[in-house]
Amino acid sequence: MDDENFPKPISELQKQVDEWIQTVGVRYFNELTNMAQLTEEVGEVARIIARRYGEQSEKESDKQKDLGEELADVLFVVLCLANQTNTDLQESFTNKINKKTKRDQSRHKNNPKLRL
């Protein structure tokens, strides 16, 4: 079986991005440039969401934009920033899920606003 068909752990995605940067991208943009780039990419996601799922009308030129591709752009830049700052996102994400699970064990279940 082809490993490409299985989800990759975040740590593998970080390695994949680093390999791409080293072989194709030449070098990482500095952290401030990547932060600005992340903001730009999140703005592109927001534009699609606001127009496609929100109350704003979607321009004809925006209808062909791929939300998945824009979300992948956000993920790519987040992975770059993690690599640049020596952040293990796999560990950080696991810690975050554990913290949220412990903190919110019954919080959302007991929220009447979330009941169907």
| Interval 55-104: pLDDT, tens | 999 888 888 999 999 999 999 999 999 999 999 999 999 999 999 999 98
Residue 44, judged by CB atoms within 10 A of its CB (0-12, 13-18, 19+), counts as: middle
Q: Is the pLDDT of residue 27 over 50?
A: yes
Q: What is the spatial distance between Cα 82 and Cα 71, in angstroms, rounded to a whole number?
A: 16
Number of neighbouring beta carbons within 10 Å of residue 37: 17
pTM of the entire structure?
A: 0.86
Is residue 66 within 8 A of residue 44, CB to CB? The reply is: no
Q: When comparing pLDDT for 6 and 10, which is higher?
A: 10
Domain containing 82 — which CATH number? 1.10.287.1080
Q: Is the pLDDT of residue 2 over 70?
A: no
Mean pLDDT, residues 6-13 taken together: 90
Is residue 7 within 8 A of residue 72, CB to CB? The reply is: no
Which pLDDT value is given to residue 1? 42
- Per the structure, the complete domain to which residue 39 belongs is given by 8-88
Assigned domain for 102 exists: no
Closest C-alpha among 41, 33, 40 to residue 84: 33
